[in-house]
Structure 1
Amino acid sequence: MTAYFVTGTDTDAGKTLVAGGLLALARRHGLTTLGLKPVASGCEPTVGALRNIDALTLQAQSMPTTAYATINPYAYAPAIAPHLAARRAGRIPTLDALVAHVAGPLAETRDLTLIEGAGGWRVPLNDDEDLAGLAVCLELPVILVVGLQLGCLNHARLSTEAIRADGLHVAGWVGNLIDPAFSSDDACYRDNLATLERTLEAPCLGIVPRLAAETPDARAVAAADYLTLPTYEESR
């Protein structure tokens, strides 16, 4: 089994789109998959429980089918920083609790498992710990999703520096085009990509354009067309 931690340069960089796309791509190759989002804020109430659209997207691309509670054990309603949402709910996660929760799923014989973080690399989990600590505890290689927009060069380089400073390997990065002002026909856009490729010192696993698909599930499936799976050598 191969497992990765998926983080982003910022909130809404496209972590779920890319994670869902990688899982969908793995399924096309006949691989078993699992997507986990241990902590999620901005959840919607359903019958008897809160549900997060990002976690549901990962669940849809997990095969064999996995229970929602396994994918997202800590779900909070307010669409704010997870540690603040957890404080309001009175249910604050710890790294020990998250490590214990994912131990079972990670022990399953899935070909590809992705654990999606929340926000960027340094988002707090509680008053004393960061969610990135989960990747550190599990010694997981990291896939960085770069939201392609003004400022992404700084955010991407600082994120990769922070990941490596924490002792982890950047298995690859994915660019996700989110700024309408950016266009693949624009010279500045191409120059930004060239700078990322030169400075991040990690393989590019794909560039995802703005997608026309209407639902998160459909966008994840469409994103698979623009992605490549990380290889063993890239993950070492």
Structure 2
Amino acid sequence: ELLVAWRHWQKQKSPNSCVGLEAFGRCLAEVASTARTAHEVVGLDSQSALAAALKPFDRLQGPPRGASVTLHGTSPAEVAAELAGAKEFRSRLEAAVGTESAATLLREETIEALAGKLVLNAASFAVPFREGSPPLRAAGVFVLLSTMNHSCAPSVRLETSEDTGSEVSMLTTRDLEAGEPLTLAYVEPDWPGNERRHQLSSHWFFDCDCPRCEAEGRIEEALCAG
């Protein structure tokens, strides 16, 4: 019932967000489970156990200082309020890590920091549904992919497993020289240059200077000069 309620809320509030309420809930549940193990098995105090459980997210790049990601129709404050208002979910967090640590996980600041990590590093893919039905759109965070740089002329493309989409393979798009870096396209390479650069700047907070964008920039300068 909880997942049904979360999915209904998401559909009503923010259907186009790549990271939804359910994703936040599952992440917090995983963090709480890891923190509980660190406390009970390793012997860490509650605060240290929670910090250790959140440590893996430090491997993911977040927004620059002072910037925040867009959740398309909702906000970290609303997400935090919805999660905190789910009594069953909150009680399970408290049972796992205690009242104080559960409150820390459900704070707006925690959700905002988590949102930045998830939104910037999530990869979208399609998951097969029923025969004859269109695939379901989903997103996941794959640590290896999150370390790869962008190029508007990428050297690899992604291919997800046909059954669940939970496994991702990287296939080269062309013959590569030894030592040539592997790059991904964060946006559709077929988009016009100004649209690609706008999306990269507004969503990922950087100005693209890949060889393709530099070449297109020189062409535009030449046309304007002529």
TM-score, L = length of structure 1: 0.27
> More helix by proportion, 1 or 2?
2
> More strand by proportion, 1 or 2?
1
Structure ranking higher on relative contact order (CA contacts 8 Å, 6+ apart): 1
TM-score, L = length of structure 2: 0.27
Q: Which has the larger radius of gyration?
A: 2
